[in-house]
Structure 1
Amino acid sequence: MPNFPALPSLTQVSLIAQAASALSIFGGARVRSNRIDAMEGDCPSEHDRRDNTAVTPVTAMQAVLAATFLALCPPVHAQSVSQEPTYGLSGRIGLNAVSMRTYEGSPNTRTLAAPDLTLSYRSRDWGTVEFGQRGLIWNAVEAGRFRFDLVAQFDPGRKDKDTSALNPTPGDKRLAGMGSVKSSTEAGVGIGYGPVMVVARQSLSERGAKGAQVDMTVEHSWPLSDRLGLRVAHSATWANRDYMQTYFGVTAAQAQATQFSVYTPKSGLRKVEVSVGAEYAVAPKWKLQANLAISHLGDVAAKSPLVGRLGTKGSDDDRRFGGFVALGMAYEF
């Protein structure tokens, strides 16, 4: 959806009118003064002196500066108001019902009850610290549209058996014999400008998933009304050889214990994803949320024998698609 420049705000319209009025008066005064000087010499009448003193050079300069400021300022978006950020603690708590694949690349799905907990603390001197579904993020630098973040994320790993609706760890009995991938912690940095954010992260654990990833996300949000908001995000994730081997590779020992063939992936595009989210305020602090995401595995990941087809007659492209659907309610504070 393209971003159209919004109409000037009431404040801008007022400033424009004031600037135009001041400039026109000043110009008119100069014309009248020149005509009188030509006809009567350098002795203007009392009425003309009052007209000439109505607009001083300071007033004219203010008008010029106001017009210049309005010309140089970028157009504001509709309904936007420049406000001081809210400092202190804020957050949300809720519950979502999520339908998703049992693991990335699985042909099977499951329904998960997922808690939604987000805590954010903003200070004047130390930026913003946020803990939520994306992990722990410290927005250390925020200068205009530029952002610099320090990121710590949690990788839940993967089980080689089915997991319950209350367990967020992916798993499927289809992977029996592959062994479990233990959970791990990832650390990295993020650099953003406007709607674009790039995050590079590296696994810190020796017992769980290994490897490095780079995510690039472009996100836009629109307030459709006082109660309804819409968010659209596009993302792509690159992963190195170690990460690909952990989640998409099959070693010789694993091949002997399962029906899968040996596969040794290289680094490459892990997936691309498009997500759409809507939020409706049913009450001042209660929000109804709906999210839809569609992902597409890259070539290296899609060639893994662990990636199953949607059906026995599915095409090769069926192996690549995934995503989730979520519906929930949250309370903001």
Structure 2
Amino acid sequence: MNKLLSFVLSAGAVAGSLASGTVLAQTPATNPMPDGSRDMYAGLGLQSAARYEGSGSRRVSALPVLQVQWSNGVFVSGMSAGMHLSSSPTVEYGPLLAIQPGRDESGTGLGADGVGASGLNGIAPAAPGEKAMILSGRLAGMDEIGARLQVGAFYNTYLNPQWRLTSSLLAGAGKDHDGARLDLGVQRLAFVAGERHRVSLSAGLGLVNRQYNESYFGVTQAESMRSRFAAWQPGGGLQDVHLGARWNWVLGPSWMLSSNLQAKRLLGDAGKSPLTERSTNLTVSTALAYRF
């Protein structure tokens, strides 16, 4: 159960990356349970994140938290789902699905139905000047990108009981569903920081193909003619590096407060893109979750 508690609210991390437009899919650690049983956490919190990847403005939004794991290895973690296939205590692998949010002219997400989310999950009202800019569209003239279902796999290996190397590959993002992203990372599983407190750390990097970068950081000639951005045709390669820390405060047998901090820096062609207003951004969130 200790391994599960280390990542019991990885949904919060996934949701945080979703808000900035990139799925950093984290898989819950394998948790052997009696056949037919399940472990489930659900909750709600708040998150402050960049309006879109590379944005210079921020928004505060509601943060739903959900993680379910069944004894057969199937799990749901935020906007991702998968299945543990390994029976080894030191290796985890299996298929992975994740939803990549869309992006509209305001820089906020588009749901699967193409509806912008800025009016649904915004908590703090924008200042008059910022509101006018949002309404006019920070990305006015850029093509909208709908939500995408990504398909891939994950592979994790434990260096020891406290540390594990993680990797996930997802394909299907972008304008033409041909964007792919590989995430590589290292995680320090939760260590005790007091009777009711657990802290975990993570670091990693993301590599993408050309189609991924073209969709989210490129500017076509047509987009350049109708927007304020110069044409930009990025290639693939290393897109970002990121650091994260999570603090879980166990309030009781069924309640937990989970706070997450992630720093991310865009590199390469993504960092040089005319769409990138700020190459380094922080995502901060906190959520209250209940264990069923």
Q: 1:279 aligns with which of 248, 256, 262?
A: 248
Aligned-residue offset at 1:89? 1.0
Q: 2:119 aligns with which of 147, 164, 176?
A: 164
Q: Residues 63 and 287 of structure 2 are in contact (CA less than 8 Å); yes or no, is this contact kept in structure 1? A: no
Structure 2 partner of 1:138: 83
Q: 1:109 aligns with which of 58, 82, 85?
A: 58
* Residue aligned with 1:106, SS: coil
Aligned-residue offset at 1:223? 2.6
Deviating 4+ runs (over 4 angstroms): 205-209
Deviations 1:277-298 (A, max 9, x none): 1011112111011111100101
Structure 2 partner of 1:314: none
Structure 1 partner of 2:178: 210
Higher share of residues assigned strand? 2
RMSD: 2.1
The one-letter amino acid paired with 2:231 is V
Structure 2 partner of 1:28: none
Q: 1:300 aligns with which of 254, 269, 278?
A: 269
Structure 1 partner of 2:10: none
1:92 is the counterpart of 2:51 = no
Partners of 1:280 and 1:206 in 2: CA distance: 37
Gaps of 5+ in 1: 1-83, 309-318
Deviations 1:28-67 (A, max 9, x none): xxxxxxxxxxxxxxxxxxxxxxxxxxxxxxxxxxxxxxxx
Partners of 1:91 and 1:167 in 2: CA distance: 27
1:177 is the counterpart of 2:141 = yes
The one-letter amino acid paired with 1:93 is A
Aligned-residue offset at 1:167? 6.8
Partners of 2:174 and 2:283 in 1: CA distance: 30
Q: Residues 280 and 288 of structure 1 are in contact (CA less than 8 Å); yes or no, is this contact kept in structure 2? A: yes
Structure possessing the higher radius of gyration over alpha carbons: 1
Relative distance call for 1:270 and 1:142 in structure 2 (3 A) is farther
The one-letter amino acid paired with 2:99 is F
Structure 2 partner of 1:246: 215
The one-letter amino acid paired with 1:290 is S
1 or 2 for the larger relative contact order (CA 8 Å, sep ≥6)?
Answer: 2
Partners of 1:274 and 1:211 in 2: CA distance: 23
Aligned-residue offset at 1:95? 0.6
Relative distance call for 1:159 and 1:209 in structure 2 (3 A) is farther
Structure 1 partner of 2:258: 289
Partners of 1:206 and 1:258 in 2: CA distance: 19
Structure 2 partner of 1:329: 288
Partners of 1:298 and 1:181 in 2: CA distance: 22
The one-letter amino acid paired with 1:326 is S
* Residue aligned with 2:142, SS: coil
* Residue aligned with 1:272, SS: strand
Aligned-residue offset at 1:202? 1.1
The one-letter amino acid paired with 2:286 is L
The one-letter amino acid paired with 1:166 is N
Aligned-residue offset at 1:176? 1.0
Structure 2 partner of 1:148: 93
Structure 1 partner of 2:196: 227
Aligned-residue offset at 1:248? 0.1
Q: Residues 148 and 192 of structure 1 are in contact (CA less than 8 Å); yes or no, is this contact kept in structure 2? A: yes
Partners of 2:187 and 2:71 in 1: CA distance: 21
Relative distance call for 1:119 and 1:246 in structure 2 (3 A) is same
Gaps of 5+ in 2: 1-30, 109-117, 124-132, 159-163
Q: Residues 233 and 274 of structure 1 are in contact (CA less than 8 Å); yes or no, is this contact kept in structure 2? A: yes
Partners of 1:111 and 1:206 in 2: CA distance: 25
Q: Residues 214 and 239 of structure 1 are in contact (CA less than 8 Å); yes or no, is this contact kept in structure 2? A: yes
